[in-house]
């Protein structure tokens, strides 16, 4: 275990060094991903400009949720980029995944160590910026509980999104062609939960409550931080289920990953 961890660091530093060898494309990607986030947020802000409130939420409140999800997703995307389904599917197809299996180290640590998308820093910085903007528009009354709980929520979201990445990556063992569908699962999932859940139709909310427990990761915690009443009338402890939901999704994804490894077919070249 310690050996795996130490190697994870070594492999990462190799990754970072080779990313920095291509300085230009690095900067370009960093700015372009950040720019996409900025555009998306600007379009939300424009909608609020016209309507002021959407179903009881102000721009500042939505920005808080949005910034939270964006930051967590960006951090996850950086740490778990080895599991990015697009990238991982490619390494399966090209046979580089075989090369990882040939090494006597824990395979999960190796996949994690196979990429570290430093270029996501742009996205993360912007997510934090949006969070800061949200707090400026809509000051939160901070309590000790809230201060301590915020990093827990971020960490839980990282685990949750990381789980989605792992599931997506595992699916590419069977079908690399379905990458668009998998992307809808991960990126679409993060998009959907960046908005307050009560604006969605009931079936969709149920989906994100009982099937993929995303609602506990962002929406309920956001209600707690923003001191808003719960229109869905869940128990008062609902905002604090975030770590449980994150761990649950992560554990399920790991089980699926190990199942996938048993069925890995390699490539025929």
Binding site for another protein (CB under 8 A): 3, 6-7, 10-11, 14, 17-18, 21, 94-96, 98-99, 101-107, 171, 174-175, 177-181, 262-266, 268-269
DSSP 188-225: IHHHHTTS-GGGS-HHHHHIIIIIS-GGGTTHHHHHHH
Least Å distance, CB 92 to ligand ATP, is 10
Residue with smaller CB distance to another protein, 9 or 53? 9
Least Å distance, CB 190 to another protein, is 20
Instruction: Say which residues have a Cβ less than 8 Å from residue 111's Cβ, sequence separation at least 6.
Output: 82, 83, 88, 100, 169
Q: Which of 52, 104, 139, 268 binds ligand ATP (CB under 6 A)?
A: 268
Closest CA to 62 of 206, 204, 222: 222
DSSP secondary structure code for residue 187 in this structure: I
263 is a site residue for ligand ATP (CB under 6 A): no
265 is a site residue for ligand ATP (CB under 6 A): yes
Residue count, binding to ligand ATP (CB under 6 A) = 4
175 is a site residue for ligand ATP (CB under 6 A): no
96 is a site residue for ligand ATP (CB under 6 A): no
Closest CA to 30 of 125, 158, 111, 113: 125
Residue with smaller CB distance to ligand ATP, 139 or 268? 268
Contact 55, 198 (CB under 8 A): yes
Task: Please say whether the dihedral angle defined by the alpha carbons of residues 130, 133, 137 and 139, taken in this order, is positive or negative.
Answer: positive
Closest CA to 81 of 125, 112, 37: 112
Give the three-state DSSP class for 58: strand
Least Å distance, CB 3 to another protein, is 7
x/- binding map, residues 210-249, to ligand ATP, per CB under 6 A? ----------------------------------------
267 is a site residue for ligand ATP (CB under 6 A): yes
Least Å distance, CB 263 to another protein, is 8
């Amino acid at each position: 275990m310690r050996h795996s961890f130490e190697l994870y660091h070594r492999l990462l530093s190799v990754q970072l060094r080779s990313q920095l060898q291509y300085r230009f494309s690095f900067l370009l990607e960093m700015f372009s991903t950040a720019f996409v986030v900025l555009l998306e947020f600007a379009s939300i802000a424009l909608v609020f400009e016209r309507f002021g409130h959407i179903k009881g939420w102000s721009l500042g409140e939505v920005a808080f949720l949005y910034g939270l999800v964006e930051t967590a997703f960006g951090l996850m995307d950086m740490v778990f980029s080895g599991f990015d389904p697009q990238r991982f599917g490619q390494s399966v197809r090209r046979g580089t995944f075989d090369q990882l299996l040939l090494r006597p180290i824990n395979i999960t640590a190796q996949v994690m160590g196979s990429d570290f998308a430093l270029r996501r820093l742009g996205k993360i910085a912007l997510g934090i910026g949006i969070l800061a903007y949200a707090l400026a528009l809509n000051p939160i009354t901070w309590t000790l509980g809230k201060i301590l709980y915020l990093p827990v929520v971020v960490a839980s979201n990282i685990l949750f999104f990381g789980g989605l990445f792992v599931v997506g990556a595992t699916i590419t063992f069977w079908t690399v062609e379905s990458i668009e569908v998998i992307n809808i699962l991960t990126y679409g999932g993060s998009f959907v939960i960046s908005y307050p859940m009560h604006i969605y139709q009931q079936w969709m909310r149920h989906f994100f409550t009982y099937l993929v427990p995303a609602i506990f990761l962002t929406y309920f915690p956001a209600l707690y931080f923003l001191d808003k009443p719960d229109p869905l009338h869940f128990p008062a402890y609902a905002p604090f289920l975030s770590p449980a939901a994150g761990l649950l999704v992560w554990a399920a994804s790991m089980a699926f990953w190990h199942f996938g490894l048993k069925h890995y077919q390699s490539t025929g070249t």
